[in-house]
């Protein structure tokens, strides 16, 4: 069998999005190589689309938003430039994976806020797309960054100095977030805020009847708003909606009649004990919540279904969750496996009745398209949840990818009708999602910023904007 070219490999996509033509793949390994590449591309007016590890599964994998971009694969630029174990910051390059940074932090007082995705995903790539870790949103991990602009110049933001040292957020405006979910430059390094390793991690896990999902969201939200003394991100997940008929699919082990509450309570022993007591009190009226387990994450056995989550809550990334969800034994197989996967990411209300209304509205879309979905609420703060709606489909079934995409489009409209805006997008909708949620004056300002830094629009065209 003939080996796939690098562009062919990078054109595979578990989401089954419309294929994009890729003009080539470049693999710079140093800051100077990135600068030279960008300068040459600007001179030749070639469009560049930087990726870190390209495992943006469900949102387009490694595919660019528009056609004829040169893919800039930064996976080989993988140095940990510095670890400040006193203040708790790491300065890393785009190819640094969760596995690599977590290993460097082993036996230190700090740990990484790992995501449930593959261990070999990029910390920078995920953070630039506003991903969620197990402890908090990755937004809170991004302390500063270094980027190459379209003219080849290098800028640093947020207190990261040109020598790669991080000093904390310094005086003056901080343009760090202008590079997150945007296309102003090629990000070549990031200062990442680390998490203090806690004395105890109590892992919360409970499965309850599906019809209690709204009640549970309201109860956990109350618990957070009154003041969770512990750290950690609680999730209400696996709220499965299946159609009355059709050949729908869900990951193995998911029971559509049940949903799950899951997440760590982290801190000192007394803090975690108190948090558990308050959480149980908040959930008192939720049917089935009395069986909730709160276990010491360090003592969960490898054959326990929550073992992968126990590892992640201790800052140890694992691919087991991804393998289970997508029915593969290697992450290398995901973009060509039998199972298709799409994600839709709306902000969701932290409110019992509104959750039930959103779920009922999504059910109509599920029935219309004969395709299942699973709702997850990541309770990242006290105001709104980061929703993750996962759509699984069989890629080999003739119209299944089409139905899955139609369901994602329809669900997005349904959610907007309920006031739920999209906070993280995919390659088909990234520009439209920005346009529809930003005022004309706001779009004008973004356009002026983009054209000032990248007049020919050569870097990541279409990514969250122009
Ligand atoms: C089962 C499963 C579980 C998942 N769990 C999670 C989860 O818990 N949390 C979560 O957030 N996601 C999750 N994901 C989604 C996804 O796999 C991760 O978000 C993953 O980290 C993104 O891929 P990446 O790190 O390779 O980033 P990339 O694909 O490299 O980057 C994402 C995008 O950011 C931009 N970009 C990347 N690097 C640069 C750069 N250096 N300069 C400029 N722009 C850049 C590009 O536009 C790129 O397309 C999950 C997916 C699956 C299938």
CATH of the domain at 149: 3.30.465.10
Query: Do 208 and 163 share a structural domain?
Result: no
Domain of residue 307 covers 200-424
Average pLDDT of the chain is 96
Residues forming beta bridges with residue 422, ordered by sequence position = 346
Query: Do 80 and 3 share a structural domain?
Result: yes
The average pLDDT across 401-418 equals 97
Residue with tokens 């560049």, as numbered in its chain:
48
Query: Is the confidence at residue 27, as pLDDT, over 50?
Result: yes
pLDDT in tens, 184-220: 999 999 999 999 999 999 999 999 999 999 999 999 9
Is residue 466 in some structural domain?
no
Give the residue, by CA position, lying nearest to ligand 1 atom 14: 117
Write the CA distances from 338 to 20, 226, 413, integer angstroms: 21, 45, 28
Taking only Cα atoms into account, the Rg of the chain, rounded to an integer number of angstroms, comes to 22
The average pLDDT across 298-318 equals 97
Spacing, Cα 43 to ligand 1 middle (Å):
30
Per-residue pLDDT at 466: 73
Is residue 463 in some structural domain?
no
Domain count, the chain: 2
DSSP 93: -
Work out which ligand 1 atom sits closest to the CA atom of 321: 1
CB atoms under 10 Å from CB of 138, counted, come to: 24
Q: What is the CATH number of the domain that holds 409?
A: 3.40.462.10
- Distance CA(355)–CA(216), nearest Å, equals 10
CB atoms under 10 Å from CB of 291, counted, come to: 9
pLDDT in tens, 118-136: 999 999 999 999 999 999 9
Query: Is the confidence at residue 70, as pLDDT, over 50?
Result: yes
Query: Do 191 and 254 share a structural domain?
Result: no
Is residue 447 in some structural domain?
yes
Write the CA distances from 255 to 241, 243, 258, 393, integer angstroms: 10, 14, 6, 17
The average pLDDT across 92-105 equals 98
137 lines ligand 1 (CB under 6 A): no
Is residue 465 in some structural domain?
no
Query: Do 282 and 179 share a structural domain?
Result: no
340 lines ligand 1 (CB under 6 A): no
Spacing, Cα 56 to ligand 1 middle (Å):
4
Per-residue pLDDT at 236: 98
Per-residue pLDDT at 11: 77
- Distance CA(125)–CA(154), nearest Å, equals 19
The average pLDDT across 47-54 equals 98
Query: Do 418 and 325 share a structural domain?
Result: yes
- Distance CA(332)–CA(77), nearest Å, equals 20
90 lines ligand 1 (CB under 6 A): no
Work out which ligand 1 atom sits closest to the CA atom of 334: 53
Per-residue pLDDT at 4: 57
Spacing, Cα 357 to ligand 1 middle (Å):
30
Query: Do 210 and 125 share a structural domain?
Result: no
Query: Do 439 and 420 share a structural domain?
Result: no
- Distance CA(5)–CA(7), nearest Å, equals 5
Question: Are residues 95 and 63 in contact, defined by beta-carbon separation less than 8 angstroms?
Answer: no
Is residue 464 in some structural domain?
no
Per-residue pLDDT at 246: 78
Query: Do 436 and 417 share a structural domain?
Result: no
Query: Do 391 and 433 share a structural domain?
Result: no
Write the CA distances from 323 to 56, 116, 205, 239, 331, integer angstroms: 15, 11, 20, 20, 7
Per-residue pLDDT at 3: 55
Query: Do 435 and 361 share a structural domain?
Result: no
Residue 1 binned pLDDT confidence (cut-offs 50, 70, 90): very low
Query: Do 353 and 386 share a structural domain?
Result: yes
Pocket probe mutation, ligand 1, options 48, 125, 134, 391, max atoms within 8 Å of Cβ: 125
DSSP string, 377-411: EEE-SSSEEEEEEEEEEETTSTTHHHHHHHHHHHH
Give the residue, by CA position, lying nearest to ligand 1 atom 46: 51
Work out which ligand 1 atom sits closest to the CA atom of 179: 43
- Distance CA(236)–CA(262), nearest Å, equals 7
Pocket probe mutation, ligand 1, options 26, 31, 51, max atoms within 8 Å of Cβ: 51
38 lines ligand 1 (CB under 6 A): no
42 lines ligand 1 (CB under 6 A): no
Question: Are residues 136 and 111 in contact, defined by beta-carbon separation less than 8 angstroms?
Answer: no
pLDDT in tens, 413-457: 999 999 999 999 999 999 999 999 999 999 999 999 999 999 999
pLDDT in tens, 221-243: 999 999 999 999 999 999 999 99
- Distance CA(437)–CA(226), nearest Å, equals 31
- Distance CA(206)–CA(463), nearest Å, equals 38
pLDDT in tens, 243-280: 998 789 999 999 999 999 999 999 999 999 999 999 99
Query: Do 165 and 292 share a structural domain?
Result: no
């Amino acid at each position: 069998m003939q080996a796939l070219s690098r562009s062919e490999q990078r054109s595979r996509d578990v989401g089954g999005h419309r294929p994009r033509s890729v003009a080539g793949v470049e693999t710079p390994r140093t800051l100077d190589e990135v600068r030279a590449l960008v300068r040459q591309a600007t001179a030749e007016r070639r469009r560049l689309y930087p990726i870190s590890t390209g495992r943006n599964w469900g949102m387009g994998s490694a595919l660019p938003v528009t056609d004829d971009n040169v893919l800039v694969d930064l996976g080989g630029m993988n140095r940990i430039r510095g670890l400040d174990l006193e203040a708790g910051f790491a300065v890393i390059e785009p190819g640094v994976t969760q596995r690599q940074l977590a290993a460097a932090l082993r036996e230190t007082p700090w740990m990484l806020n790992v995501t449930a995705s593959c261990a070999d995903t990029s910390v920078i790539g995920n953070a630039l797309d506003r991903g969620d870790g197990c402890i908090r949103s990755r937004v809170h991990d991004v302390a500063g960054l270094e980027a190459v602009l379209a003219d080849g110049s290098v800028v640093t933001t947020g207190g990261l100095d040109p020598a790669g040292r991080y000093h904390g957020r310094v005086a003056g405006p901080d343009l760090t977030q202008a590079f997150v979910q945007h296309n102003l430059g090629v990000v070549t390094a990031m200062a990442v805020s680390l998490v203090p390793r806690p004395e105890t991690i109590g892992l919360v896990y409970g499965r309850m009847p599906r019809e209690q999902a709204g009640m549970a969201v309201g109860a956990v939200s109350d618990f957070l708003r009154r003041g969770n003394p512990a750290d950690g991100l609680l999730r209400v997940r696996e709220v499965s909606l299946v159609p009355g008929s059709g050949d729908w699919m869900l990951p193995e082990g998911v029971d559509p009649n049940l949903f799950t509450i899951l997440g760590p309570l982290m801190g000192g022993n007394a803090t975690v004990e108190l948090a558990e007591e308050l959480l149980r009190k908040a959930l008192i009226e939720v049917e089935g919540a009395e069986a909730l387990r709160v276990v010491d994450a360090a003592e969960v056995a490898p054959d326990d279904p929550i073992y992968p989550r126990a590892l992640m809550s201790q800052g140890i990334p694992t691919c087991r969750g991804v393998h289970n969800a997508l029915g593969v034994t290697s992450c290398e197989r995901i973009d060509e496996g039998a199972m298709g996967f799409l994600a839709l990411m709306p902000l969701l209300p932290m409110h019992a009745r509104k959750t039930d209304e959103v779920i009922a509205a999504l059910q109509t879309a599920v029935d219309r398209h004969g395709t299942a979905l699973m709702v997850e609420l990541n309770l990242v703060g006290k105001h709104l949840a980061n929703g993750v709606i996962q759509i699984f489909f069989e890629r080999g079934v003739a119209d299944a990818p089409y139905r899955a995409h139609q369901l994602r489009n329809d669900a997005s409209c349904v959610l907007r009708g309920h006031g739920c805006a999209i906070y993280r997008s995919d390659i088909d909708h990234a520009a439209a999602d920005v346009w529809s949620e930003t005022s004309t004056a706001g779009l004008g300002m973004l356009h002026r910023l983009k054209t000032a830094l990248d007049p020919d629009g050569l870097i990541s065209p279409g990514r969250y904007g122009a």
